[in-house]
Amino acid sequence: HKFLLRVIDAETNQPLDAKVRMRGTDNSTIGSLNRGDGVSEFVIMSSTVKRYMVYAELEGYIFENMEISLGGATAAPTKEEKSIKLRKIKTGETSVLRHVFFDTGKATLKPESFDELDKLLLMMQQNTKVRVEIGGHTDNVGSHDINLQLSQKRAVAVKSYMTSKGIEGKRVTAVGYAETKPL
């Protein structure tokens, strides 16, 4: 089963020669072949349908990732294609960190969050003038005041991770939004 991933500029729709990666949910890395014009080819050997995480990053752009399910290998060759649009880094751009996790009611980062945070870290290391606001969020269970405190603590936990890895504190602002800005 072949999977083709096309990376394009969100504004111009032009192909981008981005760094791409694909991992299985078991953290196994799937090798790729760069076919040019922003297209990478992955060969899936599994005979069962599995979920994968696909990442694309390029200096000057906000990294993107997506979760996909792909059908397993069959006797007849099959092919599936998807696109990822990368947006240039500019003032006011917003992006969701989809894989930053906390236990319910807590502000301690779960280990499975570090892969996504490391992508943010790399983006900030490559683009040294970038400043980000980390917005912490909660669900709407519980009181607003408790949720506001928790969301602030979660944002601070992400900021602390970034600064512990060498990003200057003045480049990262932590703000808690509680339940006021649902995804």
What's the rounded mean pLDDT across residues 128-145?
Answer: 91
Q: Round to whole Å and give the CA distance between 34 and 102.
A: 36
Is 4 in a helix, a strand, or coil?
strand
- pTM: predicted TM-score of the whole model, two decimal places: 0.81
Token digits of residue 47? 């005979």
Predicted local confidence at residue 156, as pLDDT:
97
Token digits of residue 151? 């969301």
What's the rounded mean pLDDT across residues 1-9?
Answer: 93
pLDDT at 40 over 80: yes
Beta strands in 25-63 (DSSP E): 29-30, 32-36, 39-43, 50-57, 61-62
**Comparing 14-18, 105-109, 136-140, 152-156, which segment has the lowest mean pLDDT?**
136-140
**Residue range 84-107, pLDDT digits in tens:** 999 999 999 999 898 899 988 899
**pLDDT grade for 183, boundaries at 50, 70 and 90:** low
Summary mean pLDDT of the chain: 91
- Angle, CA 108 vertex, CA 107 and CA 111 arms, to 5°: 140
**pLDDT grade for 17, boundaries at 50, 70 and 90:** very high
**Residue range 47-76, pLDDT digits in tens:** 788 889 999 999 999 999 998 988 766 667
